[in-house]
Amino acid sequence: MLRLFKQYYSIRNIFFVFGEALAIYVSVLLSYWILIGRVYIPIDLWLLLKTFLIIFVTQACLYFNDLYDLNITGTFSELGIRLFQSIGAASIILAGVYYIFPEAMIGRGVFIVSIVFIILLIVSWRFCYMLVLKHKILDQKIMLLGSGELIQNITNEINNSIDCGYTVSINIPEPTGNIYLSNTKGAGIITREGSDNLCEIAKKFEIKKIIVALQEKRGMFPINELLKCRVNGIDILEGTSFYEMLTGKLIVRQINPAWLIFSKGFYKSNIRRFLKRTTDLVLCIFGLVLLLPLIILISILIKIDSRGPVIFSQERVGENRKIYRVHKFRSMIVDAEKQSGPVWAKDDDKRITRVGRFIRKLRIDEIPQLLNVLKGNMSFVGPRPERDFFIKKLEETIPYYGERFTVKPGITGWAQVCYGYGASVEDAVEKLNYDLFYIKNMSTFMDLMIIMRTIKTVLFGKGAR
């Protein structure tokens, strides 16, 4: 894993994205060679920028169509459908750019032939890459030390992700008298002597990392064996930290205060706050100007569809538990909670109006919150703002829930783009796992990444109710 801007990225996945960019670049080279009769080497800066424009637009369309989520595009039929959709969208976008800026066009014939090569090379590249993944050729072998829920969560995450980059080779439970079994092609390690010879076992199976997640450490922590492994070049990682690195979230019901106290992160410098506020204001003003026609249209549709005000305002709890009024386009009938009292929205909620169902699906109802960002009681990116009624109940059952109020709530956030809408206590727990990860690792780069994922969520209407 490579850590950039407080985020972990698999080196193999970075190589995959750059490899695909190279495939698109080579497609343009081949097109020039076929049509012009010589290999095109873009020494000219302007020609190089034209080529990079094709790469950028094509890979952006691949990203927005989930083609970099290999768990979605695991079959060739799904890959083929999404690839043709993405290339078609990229062609339309580039055609629009070329129409507005003709000087940006790389050549009509070259552009058309490049599309054919792009499809062929991307499919070939992905086929080779999938072979590497399926045969676990570049996977890093790890050993899991422990047998609790955290170990099970780590194992499930690795088994359910085709491109996480890890393979569990050995799982050694805590010393309960059980035999220790290896998961590597039927080969097994049988021992009843606790963690004795741990280093020799790791060397034998070429283990690169040992993940320690023992439920009971007193008198059972194999200090000497782990020290021996460490000085022999094997990485030793604490289970919760590895899970954070692997998934982009925490497990609030399994971490202890000591881990939070001594872990890196939660740094909020004045420079960081200034950059975040500046970014908020720039995005807010730009968004209000750009979305003004849509705001007018939605306002008219809401008034036509049902009686009541266009804007719905409600008290929420913000940074440092300050109460403020959040603004949204009204998506429910007037006095929606008059009979039921405060409740979360549900699937097919009868209180939602016809226009409300549409704007909630596309998250358009959130647009008036830009006014909250301008006022300074919200940020563009942060934990979802919640009502005091629900907060009091959630704090009674969910550990660390109050830590959400150390930052401003946001229009969008890490939990919203990773998990979507939540309407239960368990959903609130899972969203807090992501919110704490964001608060711990927040950065300007991460905010921009979340905004990009939010745009994708809005375009495809995922995770809304």
Name the band, by pLDDT with cuts 50, 70 and 90, for residue 335: confident
Please, what is the average pLDDT of the chain? 83
240 compared with 4, residue with greater pLDDT? 240
Name the band, by pLDDT with cuts 50, 70 and 90, for residue 191: very low
The pLDDT tens digits of the residues spanning 390-412 come to 898 899 889 999 999 999 999 99
- The 3-state secondary structure of the chain reads CEEECCEEECHHHHHHHHHHHHHHHHHHHHHHHHHHCCCCCCCCHHHHHHHHHHHHHHHHHHHHCCCCCCCCCCCHHHHHHHHHHHHHHHHHHHHHHHHHCHHHCCCHHHHHHHHHHHHHHHHHHHHHHHHHHHCCCCCEEEEEECCCHHHHHHHHHHHHCCCCCEEEEEEECCCCCCCCEECCCCCCCCCCCCCCCHHHHHHHCCCCEEEECCCCCCCCCCHHHHHHHHHCCCEEEEHHHHHHHHHCCCCCCCCCHHHHHHCCCCCCCHHHHHHHHHHHHHHHHHHHHHCHHHHHHHHHHHHHHCCCCCEEEEEEECHHHCEEEEEEECCECCCCCCCCCCCCCCCCCCCECHHHHHHHHCCHHHCCHHHHHHHCCCEEECCCCECHHHHHHHHHHCCCHHHHHHCCCEEECHHHHHHCCCCCHHHHHHHHHHHHHHHHHCCHHHHHHHHHHHHHHHHHCCCCC
Confidence at residue 217, expressed as pLDDT on a 0 to 100 scale: 67
Confidence at residue 59, expressed as pLDDT on a 0 to 100 scale: 93
Domains of the chain: 2-134 (no CATH), 140-247 (3.40.50.720), 270-460 (no CATH)
Name the band, by pLDDT with cuts 50, 70 and 90, for residue 179: very low
The pLDDT tens digits of the residues spanning 344-387 come to 666 667 788 888 888 888 888 899 999 999 999 999 999 999 98
Q: What is the mean pLDDT of residues 154-177?
A: 81
- Look at residue 285 and tell me whether its pLDDT is greater than 60: yes
- Look at residue 168 and tell me whether its pLDDT is greater than 50: yes
Global pTM reads 0.83
- Look at residue 268 and tell me whether its pLDDT is greater than 50: yes
The pLDDT tens digits of the residues spanning 84-108 come to 999 999 999 999 998 898 888 887 7
Q: What is the mean pLDDT of residues 43-72?
A: 85
Name the band, by pLDDT with cuts 50, 70 and 90, for residue 324: very high
Q: What is the mean pLDDT of residues 259-273?
A: 85
Lowest mean pLDDT of 28-37, 126-135, 310-319, 426-435, name the range.
28-37
Name the band, by pLDDT with cuts 50, 70 and 90, for residue 189: very low
